[in-house]
Amino acid sequence: MGKKIGFIGLGVMGASMASRLIDNGYDLYIFNRTASKGESLIAKGAHWCPTPRAVADSSEIIFTIVGYPKDVEEVYLGKGGLIEGDVKGKIFCDMTTTKPSLDIMVAKKLQEKGAEMADAPVSGGDTGARNGTLSIMVGCSDEVFSSLLPCFGVMGKSISHMGAIGSGQNTKMANQIVIAGTMCGVSEALVYGAKAGLDLEKMVGTISKGAAGCWTLDNLAPRVIRKDYEPGFMVEHFIKDMGIALEEAEKMELALPSLALTRQLYLAIKAEGMGRKGTQVLVKALEALAGKEVL
């Protein structure tokens, strides 16, 4: 497999991931609904394509990381979509966090035309995307995984082959369930610490060295202390992820009460116009419950 790579989706995560591929010598063919988001990559040598279909025609391996399940379906199966292009013998990799059943369905349609597919959602936020330290959870055949591994190595640090197509998405759902509970706990700790009059930087530095230590404390708590609520990962996208996890859990006849409660708090945040802020803005929901600004 050569180095002609297609990349669709140039948002907070995708732009940095695509940039790393260019920096490591790959010839990139890109598409994004908002064309202006591709300008910095074009300046680095990427080729702009007018449609997803054109990306498929020009590339040997095609990565997608878009917003919602409806966007995945449109990019792959819609008018001018990837499946309308020259797909035979090529590999497609959806890195969007989406419904496992959707990627399984798209994979079957691609296989009917002689193409292969992987699902490979990621975790690590904007920092991980910039630094190439993402955790990548992959569902596909052994052969496809081997073909994608060099590219994964550019974008991520922890790369795990979880099983057949759909396994990556199910692993990401488990990841988001943990993050939801952790984000809630960290936010409550920050509000509590602030109200108790603690030095929050010192508090976070101290508790992060013990059993409470986690990625959220290390990476997002400092942003909250700085009152930086800009997105590494947007609230509205997290709401989408939690909804998928709850939907899949219902199919498995599972109850996830902590996840359901956290999603309700985030829905309240979105209703206040903060849907495009970072997930660390959850502290604002807790302040609203207290009836006063604490941080």
Q: Which tens digits make up the pLDDT trace of 96-138?
A: 999 999 999 999 999 999 999 999 999 998 899 999 999 999 9
Confidence of residue 294 (pLDDT cuts 50, 70, 90): confident
Exactly one of 37, 108, 157, 172 is catalytic; which is it? 172
Task: Give the pLDDT band of residue 202 (cuts 50, 70, 90).
Answer: very high
Per-residue model confidence (pLDDT) at position 1: 42
Q: Which residues of 221-247 are buried (b: 16+ CB within 10 A; e: fewer)?
A: bebbbeeebebbbbbbbbbbbbebbbe
Is 262's pLDDT higher than 90? Answer: yes
Mean local confidence (pLDDT), 166-178: 97
pLDDT band, very low/low/confident/very high, at 295 (cuts 50, 70, 90): confident
Determine the average pLDDT of the residues in 46-75. Answer: 97
What average pLDDT does range 205-213 have in this prediction? 97
Domain(s) labelled CATH 3.40.50.720 in the chain stretch across 4-165
Q: Which of 39, 157, 23, 141 lies closest to 93, judged by CA?
A: 141
Confidence band of 90 (pLDDT split at 50, 70, 90): very high
Contacts of 155 (CB under 8 A, 6+ apart): 17, 20, 21, 122, 129, 132, 134, 136
Q: How confident is the model over 68-94, as a mean pLDDT?
A: 97
For residue 122, the cross-strand partners are 136
- pLDDT for 101 equals 94
In the numeric block, which tokens belong to residue 266?
A: 């985030």
User: 65 and 95 in contact (C-beta within 8 Å)?
Assistant: yes
Which of the four pLDDT bands, split at 50, 70 and 90, describes residue 16?
A: very high
37 DSSP 8-state letter: G
Residue 292 falls in the annotated catalytic set: no
| Mean pLDDT value across the chain | 96
Mean pLDDT of the region 32-45: 96
Beta-strand relationship, 134-139 and 122-123: antiparallel
- The reported pLDDT for the residue numbered 292 is 79
CATH superfamily entry for domain 4-165? NAD(P)-binding Rossmann-like Domain (3.40.50.720)
Q: Which CATH architecture has domain 170-290?
A: Orthogonal Bundle (1.10)
Mean pLDDT in residue range 247-267: 96
Could you tell me how far CA 169 lies from the centroid of its own chain?
11
13: nearest Cα among 257, 231, 292: 231
Q: Residue 150: pLDDT band by 50, 70, 90 thresholds?
A: very high
Concatenate the DSSP letters of all residues of 81-125 into one string: -GGGS--TT-EEEE-S---HHHHHHHHHHHHHTT-EEEE--EESH
Terminal-residue alpha carbon distance, the chain: 52
Mean pLDDT of 56-79: 97
What's the Rg (C-alpha) of the chain?
20
Which residue is associated with the tokens 């599972």?
A: 254
The CA distance from 50 to 61, in Å, is: 18
Every domain of the chain with CATH number 1.10.1040.10 lies at 170-290
Give pLDDT, residue 201.
Answer: 97
Please state the rounded mean pLDDT for residues 188-207. Answer: 97
